[in-house]
Amino acid sequence: MNDFLKQWGEAAYTTTGFFWMALWAFVLGYIISSMIQVFVTEKRMQKTMGENEKKSVLLGTFFGFISSSCSFAALASTKSIFKKGASFVSSIAFLLASTNLVIELGIIISIFLGWQFVVGEYVGGILLILICWILIRIINPKKLISKARKNLESEDSNDEMDDSKDWKKQIQKETSWARVAKKYKMEWQMVWKDVTVGFTIAGIVAAFVPDSFFQTLFINSGKGNTDFTFFEILEHIIVGPVAAFLTFIGSMGNIPLAALLFGKGVSFAGVMAFIFSDLVVFPVLRINAKYYGWKMSIFIVFLLFTALIGTSLALHYTFDLFNILPDPSQVKIQDSEFFKVDYTFFLNLAFLVISGYLIYLGFFKKKDVEHSMSEMAPKSQLLESILKYAAFICYAWLAGGLIVKFFMN
């Protein structure tokens, strides 16, 4: 019993420490994302995306890079752009870039995993797009694309936005910043459940799950082992997305779990595959089926999973060739110095003040900006309810664990 209480306290402390480490990065990332979504609208993107395939893929990648990292927002934006005439390959480029190349995800990865994973994330995001582009050109699924467009034709178009005003003038107005504040609030509303559950699971796994479990799940994994055969790396790459599929957690919430996997000895390729897997989980499969039909949805999963395998292998062996594979010992999952007074402490205080101002601004300007919010992909109400109650259970678990750690031990 004493061992359980000790582990419970350690799990809760690790989870809160993880979130404290990442707090300023979340705030900064979502402020940047909210600003871009307000001042660079979908309509403006569509105007600049030309007919030339190379140009459209390049622009799709660029606009994805400056867009939201939330999978559900990315799915809705991708559908809207595809519906209004963007090519299928440029739409896929936008989708992949908006979930893998965004700034806030890179900041979180740098905190938990280090610079090699940040490079892997951005270079890998580009490789994912290139591999999907090649596969689409080889397979040339004209009938699937045509049918997907027909599925969207019957939809009511209610996502038009006023794009006639100069963003340089708009950025100087308080009402524009109220829109940013509202968007910032929506970003947190989209991810709070995923982040809560994801960070809590990471703390629980760190405290309770023995290394032997990971050595069984990921063949030949273990602390200090970096010498993997090709087939072992391939197994890690395949198991990584399966683990991500089972967690149902978004990319931001999965980063501490990715750090935990790497710290337990999973290969660099396997961890990258786990991070890249946010678009091959069941909720995304279901939403794409609702938009484009099940055949296209399954085809998109095939594209992404195939690209994910190729990208993870390419990253692993390229990093190995240049002798820059990261060392698992650089990732410290349980750190007793989470809450020391350092740059993280002061950054968190500064960004909490900024966050408070945005919440205040969004609250008092809410009516003025209600019409300007962009579309979101339809989520499963059952899954959302499950996640919501799971998040509440997580809060109770964390509160109990912290009480045990500081007042009962």
Kindly indicate the confidence band of residue 185, based on its pLDDT and cuts at 50, 70 and 90.
confident
pLDDT at residue 246 in the model: 64
**Which pair of tokens denotes residue 38?**
């307000």
pLDDT at 400 over 50: yes
355-394 pLDDT, tens digit per residue, is 988 888 877 655 555 444 455 555 667 777 888 899 999 9
* Domain residue limits, the chain: 2-151+171-190+283-385
**49: confidence class by pLDDT, cuts 50, 70, 90:** low
Lowest mean pLDDT among 8-12, 106-110, 211-215: 211-215
203: confidence class by pLDDT, cuts 50, 70, 90: confident
Q: What would the mean pLDDT of 134-152 be, rounded to a whole number?
A: 89
Please report the pLDDT score of residue 17 as a whole number.
Answer: 86
pLDDT above 90: residue 174: no
pLDDT score recorded for residue 366: 53
Q: What is the pTM of this model?
A: 0.75
Q: Which of 60, 61, 69 is nearest to 30 (CA)?
A: 69
Is 72's pLDDT higher than 90?
A: no
The residue length of the chain stands at 409
Stretch 118-123: mean pLDDT: 95
Residue 325: DSSP 8-state: P
Distance CA 43, CA 84 (A): 9
Other Cβ atoms less than 10 A from the Cβ of 238: the count is: 15
* Alpha carbon distances (Å) from 230 to 205, 233, 236, 255, 287: 27, 5, 10, 25, 34
| Contact present, 374 and 77 (Cβ < 8 Å) | yes
**Residue 278 CA: distances (Å) to CA of 143, 250, 355:** 27, 6, 27
Q: What is the pLDDT of residues 311-359, one digit of tens each?
A: 999 999 999 999 999 988 777 665 557 788 877 889 899 989 999 888 8
DSSP 172: T
